[in-house]
Chain A
């Protein structure tokens, strides 16, 4: 068999004990939105092993620049300027090229630009809060923005979200589809957040905490945070794609 055959094994099953469970009662909204019957566990098929392809043609020049992509000409968003970068790879460690990474976040005051948002912190007229990019041939991505503010939310009477950026990631197959949130090193609110604490282990939570990287800063301009993302990997075996009965 060729190495191409070898690369076409099914996807490694998700470790459901590593991810947050659907039902996490300290995050109250999950109580009525969590399936209660067992998930049906099956090996992936072609329907999960394929996925949409995105190319540069959908991207605009400022899609990954949240400082400027909603700002008036000559203006930029208010707040501490940051670069966020990292690599998207599979569980084998191999980089994933061409992965669409979409991000959204609150402004520096902790306010989202959204009709249903009612926090009293003001909108920034020069900040929309969305961006996207495609990973390069090695799986690297990069965008610039402002450090999002913390904000209160209705769960307990005094629950606060730590500063965070939402990430939506497409790999090379629909089985790898992932939405998550990135947190910032050193933020004491991380460990008090019911959404963060829906994740069972400290080790897994630390996986979502971006590190300050002084070697990647832009001097006199922006601090930098590194956030690597790991998507599900494929099994590497010659013996997987048997016909029925073989």
Chain B
């Protein structure tokens, strides 16, 4: 008999369902007194280094209807481009910035919101610098496996143009779906489209 190759299967994903907020943001869903605060609801404090930014957006389904039951998580480097993670070996990240945020989206309008800092650049595995970006993960009723995408910044044109990951997108007009646009109030808008002409580029990474 041949030697066995014993890798386990990953546990299969299932939809987060319509009540994901009970478990992930219970205070938001009206279940108070169990957790002191909803995890991921506060990303920065007074000591956090870097430029404060606000990101807002909505998730649209294939009929252009806004999802009102999604849960959005983000993960990003600090202002110096370092992740606050044991896997980060390039230096010590800002201890006042955990880099992870979670937003349930407004129950009435579905808009998610993050108060964070602008991330620094992080290298690609081959050493080239990537454009500053924020990782997004979207779950909801009807989404069978969490959707992974990235947000880039519209005022980082040169970095975006030389980004090794964005360069891998074959249909160039779709790169735009990953670029947040700063509005007149200084807020970065990043809408996510699950289907249609403006379908966001999602990653299998």
Which residues of A are in contact with B by a Cβ distance under 8 Å?
A: 8, 10-16, 18-22, 24, 27, 29-37, 39-54, 58, 60, 62-63, 69-70, 89-93, 100, 102-104, 112-117, 128-132, 166, 168, 172-175, 177-181, 195-196, 198-199, 204-205, 207-208, 229-233, 240-244
The answer on a CB contact under 8 Å between A166 and B137 is no
Query: Contacts of B85 on A, CB cut-off 8 Å?
Result: 50-53, 172-173
Residues 102-127 of B at the A interface (beta carbon under 8 Å): 107, 122-127
Residues 129-172 of chain B: 1 if any A CB is under 8 Å from the residue's CB, otherwise 0? 01001010101111111111010000000000000010011000
Among B48-56, B181-189, B196-204, the stretch in contact with A? B196-204
Across chains A and B, which 3 residue pairs bring their CB atoms closest together, nearest first? Answer: A104-B23, A29-B142, A52-B100
Given known pairs A22-B145, A53-B86, the reply for A40 and B17 (CB within 8 Å) is no
* Distance from B200 Cβ to chain A, minimum over Cβ atoms (Å): 8
* Distance from B205 Cβ to chain A, minimum over Cβ atoms (Å): 5
Q: Determine if B91 is an interface residue (Cβ-Cβ < 8 Å).
A: no
CA distance A200 to B15 in the complex (A): 14
Best-surrounded residue of B14, B26, B99 (most CB of chain A within 10 A): B14
A-B pairs with beta carbons under 8 Å apart, 23 shown: A16-B204, A20-B144, A21-B144, A29-B141, A30-B142, A33-B194, A37-B174, A45-B124, A45-B130, A46-B122, A51-B85, A58-B36, A89-B8, A102-B23, A114-B21, A114-B22, A115-B30, A130-B34, A166-B23, A168-B16, A199-B14, A205-B12, A233-B7
Which of B9, B35, B39, B87 is within 8 Å of A91, CB to CB? B9
Query: Contacts of B77 on A, CB cut-off 8 Å?
Result: 47
The answer on a CB contact under 8 Å between A35 and B10 is no
Residues 24-37 of chain B: 1 if any A CB is under 8 Å from the residue's CB, otherwise 0? 10100111011110
The bracket for how many chain B residues form the interface is: 35 or more
Total CB contacts across the A-B interface at under 8 A: 284
Which of B67, B123, B125 is within 8 Å of A43, CB to CB? B125
Best-surrounded residue of B8, B107, B130 (most CB of chain A within 10 A): B8
Nearest-neighbor residue (CB-CB) of A54 within chain B = B39
Given known pairs A50-B87, A231-B11, the reply for A22 and B204 (CB within 8 Å) is no
The answer on a CB contact under 8 Å between A104 and B135 is no
Q: A43-B125, A178-B11, A180-B12 are in contact. List 5 more A-B contacts (CB 8 A).
A: A33-B195, A44-B205, A70-B33, A131-B23, A231-B10
* Distance from A205 Cβ to chain B, minimum over Cβ atoms (Å): 7
Residues 76-107 of chain B: 1 if any A CB is under 8 Å from the residue's CB, otherwise 0? 11000001111111000000001110000001
Best-surrounded residue of B87, B127, B137, B201 (most CB of chain A within 10 A): B87
CA distance A190 to B24 in the complex (A): 24
Query: Contacts of B137 on A, CB cut-off 8 Å?
Result: 174, 177
The answer on a CB contact under 8 Å between B9 and A18 is yes
Query: Contacts of B194 on A, CB cut-off 8 Å?
Result: 32-35
Query: Contacts of B146 on A, CB cut-off 8 Å?
Result: 177-179
The answer on a CB contact under 8 Å between B12 and A18 is yes
Which of A100, A179, A207 is within 8 Å of B139, CB to CB? A179
The answer on a CB contact under 8 Å between B18 and A180 is no
